[in-house]
Amino acid sequence: IHSQKESKDDKFLVYKFRPIRTFCDLCREVDFLRIEEILDGKLYCADWRKLNDVLEGKYTYCDSNNTTEQLLFDKGNRIQNQKEAYRVCSLTKNSTDPLMWAFYASDNAGVAIEIELEKNDNIFSVVYENTIPKIELGSLCIDESDVDGSKTRAIAKHLLTHKTNA
């Protein structure tokens, strides 16, 4: 669904691809229900662990401080807990990408729904890189100085907004 309107400065256009499966009446009903929900302004935000990218939210780490195994485990758990606070709604700025049509719109037989969103602090663009993020766990001050969790939350956000090019 494409509206021919221009986006204003405080808004931007994104697209949600949805399938319309014709081989199964129940599947088709569910597909139309999901499309109606989007048209009604409802976007489902999933737990990042349930997304189809096997590297979603993953990272490698190094430890130049020879931190104890228990402390590394504790820091990793704190990052994991912060990631669990986030939910993800996958959208794209490109309505013509053939891979999006193939993977998410019934092999080119589904729809791309145009959505106008207001810019806000809860919407992040994904940064694509050659490798998964690497965190220096040993040097992270994830301790009493991170009482409000802001340092750990920033790391979690970084991990969920940086992905590999693949």
pLDDT digits (tens, 9 = 90+) for 78-120: 888 889 988 999 999 999 999 999 999 988 889 999 999 999 8
Determine the pLDDT at residue 1.
Answer: 41
Query: At 97, is the secondary structure helix, strand, or coil?
Result: coil
User: In angstroms, what CA-CA distances link 67 with 115, 132, 150, 151?
Assistant: 46, 22, 22, 18
User: In angstroms, what CA-CA distances link 155 with 59, 84, 115, 152, 166?
Assistant: 11, 12, 29, 5, 22
pLDDT digits (tens, 9 = 90+) for 129-152: 999 888 877 666 655 666 677 788
- Compute the CA torsion angle 111, 105, 165, 59 (nearest 10 deg): 110
Whether residue 77 contacts residue 149, with contact meaning beta carbons closer than 8 Å, is answered with no
Query: At 139, is the secondary structure helix, strand, or coil?
Result: coil
pLDDT digits (tens, 9 = 90+) for 31-71: 999 999 999 989 999 999 998 888 888 888 877 777 777 77
